[in-house]
Amino acid sequence: MAGTGVFAEIIDEEVFKYYSEGEWMKSSSGKSVAIINPTTRKTQYKVQACTKEEVNKVMGNAKGAQKEWAKTPLWKRAELLHKAAAILKEHKDPIAECLVKEIAKPAKDAISEVVRSGDLVSYCAEEGVRILGEGKFLTADSFPGHERNKYCLVSKIPLGVVLAIPPFNYPVNLAVSKIAPALIAGNSLVLKPPTQGAVACLHMVHCFHLAGFPKGLIGCITGKGSEIGDFLTMHPGVKCISFTGGDTGIAISKKAGMIPLQMELGGKDACIVLEDADLDQVAPNIVKGGFSYSGQRCTAVKVVLVMDCIADALVEKMKASIAKLTVGPPEDDCDITPVVTESSANYIEELVVDARKKGATFCQEYRRESNLIWPLLLDNVRPDMRIAWEEPFGPVLPVIRINSVEEGIHHCNASNFGLQGCVFTKDIDKAILISDAMETGTVQINSAPARGPDHFPFQGLRDSGIGSQGITNSINMMTKVKSTVINLPTPSYTMG
Ligand SMILES: NC(=O)C1=CN([C@@H]2O[C@H](COP(=O)(O)OP(=O)(O)OC[C@H]3O[C@@H](n4cnc5c(N)ncnc54)[C@H](OP(=O)(O)O)[C@@H]3O)[C@@H](O)[C@H]2O)C=CC1
Ligand SMILES: O=C(O)[C@H](O)COP(=O)(O)O
């Protein structure tokens, strides 16, 4: 159970503590933030509402601890990360339980998130050892006018304190995808978990604590983003921000100083289906892509653009797949579970009401009970409807019928978002041309969008973000390049 056994020290009188100086602490604010269970809509957990002074302290400690950590041999850093990964996987059950209660993640998916996170940390440790242990060696004589009298040694060095802010939907996985690259590269790390998902994050941080990382190297500040977010992101001690979430990321980019930013933001992932696609394969694939975790994935299929001549057939097959989805509480491992907050459910409903008013075809009856929204396919959606462009982050999927590939590409590229897209066709030549024409960070051919596996590069264009994720790219992004030039008194050539 959450907050018991090895996790007993992270809670005090029903309020989970924050993590500073290698210890679990109560905030001097005396205030807490309630985490509402999306299924019961009752307070499930409470976390500390940290103060600015506590943020300053965590930042100061992180700055100090980083200097020593950067001197720790790379293999030792990797060893500690492997240890943390093993502890995380060993304690997957209580962490998954938090995910079920805080964000209504279906029970099996919650376990997978924790296991995947442990694997990510281990992979990151191995990749770090490979790529950070190597540099470049350049000689001056490759540039016109120069002799071989200068040798340049290029290596990757840490940035300092990295601030990690993950979103609610993958609070553990999208936290470790920032923590592990930061640490292996010799940085220290301050985590600000999402409010919904904070307790799962605190349990995960305790796994790093148990692994024995140096005091102060990792800090975890809890509180509402709207209250302490600006203070954190504009803190002079922060030397890099890795953020995943919605439009908040755009605001942060405008306010942050001259530091590297990794922003993974929203998406309106388009799925183009051509005449020759195998609809028996396509329909369940789109339904899984659109409705898993109730559509609360940045990589969920968020609009289907199907050639008109096969649209009836595809919609029928999708309806059949949707009818098989189970709807109910996450504890029962249902496919569709309550969305994260009441305001999120209200927003989804606004989009549905707008679509109804403007004449979309409802393939199922719209049904909502509290935060639980039944899966809904909207056919004959037109560009004047909000659902054609906005990200519901819920179990509602619009279908737009198109008469040409160009029409589909045009819709995809007219979006403010450019995260992922996908195309279903048997014609690989056409698929490549369409992939090149779609202005998104990734295009999947014959499968719905997905971020994983976690070592694949993952990036968004336009309002979907800046920088690229994926283990290797994150490690590189959390380092800077250092050159040391050896100047010889005379040119020196090796004769072989
Ligand atoms: N491209 C990608 O990889 C992904 C993108 N997303 C996108 O994230 C969105 C849903 O996630 P959601 O958690 O609601 O996103 P939000 O942008 O609302 O929140 C993300 C994180 O930012 C924090 N935050 C809020 N305000 C501030 C602030 N002023 N300064 C600093 N941090 C702040 C939140 O904390 P708090 O919870 O306390 O408010 C949370 O930890 C969707 O748009 C989705 O597409 C989600 C997953 C992956
Ligand atoms: O936040 C998200 O939506 C995740 O990045 C999705 O990850 P996945 O596509 O690998 O499930």
Q: What are phi and psi of 224, to 5 degrees?
A: -75, 135
Query: What's the pLDDT score for residue 434?
Result: 98
Q: In which order are the strands placed within the sheet that holds 396-402?
A: 361-362, 376-379, 396-402, 303-307, 270-273, 420-424, 442-445
CA of 230 to the centre of ligand 2 (A): 26
pLDDT at 284: 98
- pLDDT at position 447: 98
**Closest atom of ligand 1 to CA, residue 247:** 17
Task: For residue 448, give the ligand nearest its CA.
Answer: 2
List every span in the chain annotated with CATH 3.40.605.10. Answer: 5-265+464-481
> 168 CA to middle of ligand 1, Å?
7
Q: Which two tokens stand for residue 345?
A: 């459910």
Neighbours of 293 (CB within 10 A): 23
Q: Which H or E run includes 141?
A: none
Annotated catalytic residue, options 54, 102, 113, 264: 264
Question: Could you confirm whether 316 is annotated as catalytic?
Answer: no
Instruction: Tally the residues of the chain.
Output: 496
Q: Which atom of ligand 1 is nearest to the CA of 33?
A: 38
Which pLDDT score is estimated for 366? 98
Residues 401 and 388: their CA atoms lie apart, in Å, by 12
Question: Closest-lying ligand to the alpha carbon of 462?
Answer: 1
The ipTM is: 0.95
pTM of the model: 0.97
CATH-assigned architecture of domain 270-445: 3-Layer(aba) Sandwich (3.40)
Q: Which residues of 198-208 are buried (b: 16+ CB within 10 A; e: fewer)?
A: bbbbbbbbbbb
Tally the C-alpha atoms within 13 A of residue 232's C-alpha that lie toward its C-beta. 30
Walk along the chain (496 residues) in steps of 10 and give the mean pLDDT of each run: 96 96 98 98 98 98 98 98 98 98 98 98 98 97 98 98 98 98 98 98 98 98 98 98 97 96 98 98 98 98 98 98 98 98 98 98 98 99 98 98 98 98 98 98 98 97 97 98 98 94
Closest CA to 96 of 115, 111, 112, 109: 111
Q: Which ligand is nearest to the CA of 464?
A: 1
Q: Which atom of ligand 1 is nearest to 464's Cα?
A: 1
User: Number of C-alpha atoms within 13 angstroms, CB side, residue 479?
Assistant: 25
- Residue range(s) in the chain whose domain bears CATH number 3.40.309.10: 270-445
Pocket test for ligand 2, best of 297, 420, 444 (most atoms within 8 A of CB): 297
CA distance 232 to 194: 13
The residue whose CA is least distant from atom 43 of ligand 1 is 246
Choosing from 36, 48, 169 the residue with most ligand 1 atoms within 8 A of its CB, the one to mutate for a pocket test is: 169
- Cβ atoms < 10 Å from Cβ of 172: 30
Point out the ligand 2 atom lying closest to the alpha carbon of residue 454: 10
Element (H, E) at 480: strand 479-487
For the beta carbon of residue 324, count every other beta carbon within 10 angstroms: 9
Pair 203, 13: CB distance under 8 Å:
no
CATH of 5-265+464-481, one of 3.90.1150.10, 3.40.120.10, 3.40.640.10, 3.40.605.10: 3.40.605.10
Q: Which is nearest to 296 in space by CA: 323, 267, 317?
A: 267
Give the residue, out of 112, 170, 340, with the most ligand 2 atoms within 8 A of its beta carbon, to mutate for a pocket test.
Answer: 170
Residue with CA closest to ligand 1 atom 44? 266
